[in-house]
Amino acid sequence: MAATWIKPLHVRKDRTILQSIMGRTAYAMNQEKMDGGVPVIGYACDPRTVDEEFLLAKKEYEYLTGRDNGNKNVIAYHIRQSFKPGEVTPAEAQQAGYELAMRFTKGKHAFIVAVHTDRAHTHCAIVVNSTRLDCRGKFNNFRNSSLALRRLSDIICAERGLSIIENPKPSKGENYAEWLGGKEPSWQEKLRGKIDEVLPSCPTFGDFIAAMKSAGYKVNEKRKHITFLASGQGKPTRLDTLKGEHTEAAIRERLAGTRTVPPRVGKHAGASNKTGQGNPGSPGGNHTSVNLLIDIQAKIRDGKGAGYENWARIFNLKEKARTLLFLKENGIDSYDGLAKRSSSASSEFSALTKKIKDVEERMSAISETQKHIGAYGKTRDVYKQYLNAKNRGEFFEGHRAEITLHTAAKKYFNESGYGKDKKLPAIADLKQEYAALAAEKKKLYSGYRSAKSNAQDLLVAKGNADRMLGIKAEGQIQSEAPRERKAKRDASK
């Protein structure tokens, strides 16, 4: 494979944002360069209206955040991925390019993929919107992103059995590493990647911390903000500095299922997709999950323009079709059936969650009991000597740690009900019970994520069905009129 690179695109002089976007997308979708190859495909956007959709996302970003850097804004990113002459068909190149863009942006940004065949080496022209899909942030073009992109491209090509050129020849006599920056991704980028890697297999935040420790990170939870220190790293990274989907609050929300992030696609993709943002006809885009429909009227009352209304109607139309497909694939042919399935799935997930919580609490109690039994046995003789000491004060100062541990153990036993009528359990029995609970916990967690995913998908599908059929939830509170909201805001100032 030849050089793979990424370039940030700014607003050109004497041009508007839309004109600048159109200039780059027009280049990518130039029919002469495509020479009758495969059609352009898009992720979370339609190639026919990509310019307006990119611009609409930027307007929404300004509306939500109030940020506008004018001509200094990066409006999009151009990625090129080239292949060895004669090694790939245009369709195969497009699939690799789509996967590269999806995994590099983590599914958070809309993009288009065009395949140019006007040169000896087939290559993909990928244009990525700098604004995220949620319109609340922009792409983080981290230091040495070109190096990370090239390595990711190499991995994708290796997975597909394509050639990788070990020593490309950039211009001006530089070696490839110098041309791309020559350094590893930052410690923060490595930490983000490791978090995304271990999080899917972690049911709780405690399990996440344990997994990060197993991955070689030193974790300090005693400070105000949790820090992570990798092997060879000089200064630890505070979790709250990662921002976005990787702060402590965001990670806890991801574990609880209240925050979902678009998964990567391809060989290392997760089994579940919670976004439904993909293009079903695109490579890696076989998504059947659904998004909640947009309340267009509420958005219009909030001051959204005609452009947003048009986009939202198209979005809702697609989600209605996706909802119907989801219901068909899951054998749901009536609203009552959907309501029952949704209620049943939610109840099952709640029951499963409670079972796991009960098991974890018992395991925690066993560990605590084992700790105090061990401390009690090790400090019993010292405590007897303390009771018989002529100068208890002096003896205590010399054996403060042992006496404190023994006292804490006795207090724990009294509070736990151990005494004459209830003897302390044997350590061997506690270990046996703990092992049985650990096996039960593992068994319960094997179905935890699928149960959560199923419950969430059914709830979203039911919400869409309610909107499509005009059914209002019992006790639903109607939105306030804009004038009433304005009066409240004015009163609070």
Listed residue (62, 82, 60, 79) closest to 70, CA to CA: 62
164 or 304, which is more confident: 164
Per-residue confidence at 166, pLDDT binned at 50, 70, 90? low
Q: Where do we find the tokens 């991925």?
A: 81
Give residue 474's region: left, alpha or beta (phi > 0; psi -120 to 50): beta
Half-sphere exposure of 479 (CA within 13 A, CB side): 12
* Summary mean pLDDT of the chain: 78
Instruction: Please report, for residues 278, 336, 382, 400, the alpha-carbon distance to residue 393 in angstroms, rounded to integers and kept in the order given.
Output: 72, 74, 14, 10
Residues forming beta bridges with residue 43, ordered by sequence position:
111
Q: Which residues contact 167 (CB under 8 A, 6 or more apart)?
A: 175, 176
Q: Helix count (H) and strand count (E) of the chain?
A: 17, 8
Predicted local confidence at residue 176, as pLDDT: 36
| Segments making up each domain of the chain, as ranges | 4-184, 188-256, 343-449
**Least confident span in 121-125, 147-151, 183-187:** 183-187
Please report which confidence band the pLDDT of residue 301 belongs to, taking 50, 70 and 90 as the band edges. low
Q: Tens digit of pLDDT for each residue in 354-413? A: 998 899 899 988 988 999 999 889 999 999 999 998 898 889 889 889 899 999 988 888
Beta strand pairing status for 109-116 and 123-132?
antiparallel
Q: Are 141 and 77 in contact (CB under 8 A)?
A: yes
Contact 101, 56 (CB under 8 A): no
Q: What is the mean pLDDT of residues 433-457?
A: 85
DSSP 8-state class, residue 72? G
Query: Can you tell me whether residue 477 is helix, strand or coil?
Result: coil
203 touches 253 (CB < 8 A): no
The residue among 278, 288, 433, 446 whose CA lies nearest residue 356 is 446
Residues with Cβ within 8 Å of 423's Cβ and at least 6 positions away in sequence, in order, are none
Q: Which residues pair with 267 in a beta bridge?
A: none
- Select, from the ranges 5-9, 207-211, 220-224, the one with the highest average predicted confidence (pLDDT): 5-9
Residue 4 has pLDDT above 80, yes or no: yes
Query: In the predicted model, is pLDDT for residue 247 greater than 80?
Result: yes
Query: Which among 107, 459, 444 is positioned nearest to 258, based on CA atoms?
Result: 459
Phi/psi of residue 316, nearest 5 degrees: -65, -35
Rounded Cα gap, residues 418 and 397, in angstroms: 29
DSSP letters of 351-399? HHHHHHHHHHHHHHHHHHHHHHHHHHHHHHHHHHHHHH-SSHHHHHHHS
Is residue 490 predicted with pLDDT exceeding 50? yes
| Model pLDDT for residues 312-344, shown as the tens digit of each residue | 777 777 777 778 877 877 888 888 888 888 888
* Residue 25: band (very low, low, confident or very high) from pLDDT cuts 50, 70, 90: very high
* Predicted confidence (pLDDT) at residue 79 exceeds the cutoff of 90: yes
pLDDT classification of 285: cutoffs 50, 70, 90: very low
Q: Note the CATH number of domain 4-184.
A: 3.30.930
Side-chain half-sphere of 42: how many Cα atoms within 13 Å?
Answer: 19
Q: Span 63-79, mean pLDDT?
A: 82
Q: Which residue has the higher pLDDT, 289 or 283?
A: 289
The predicted-structure confidence for 228-238, as pLDDT tens digits, reads as follows 998 888 889 99
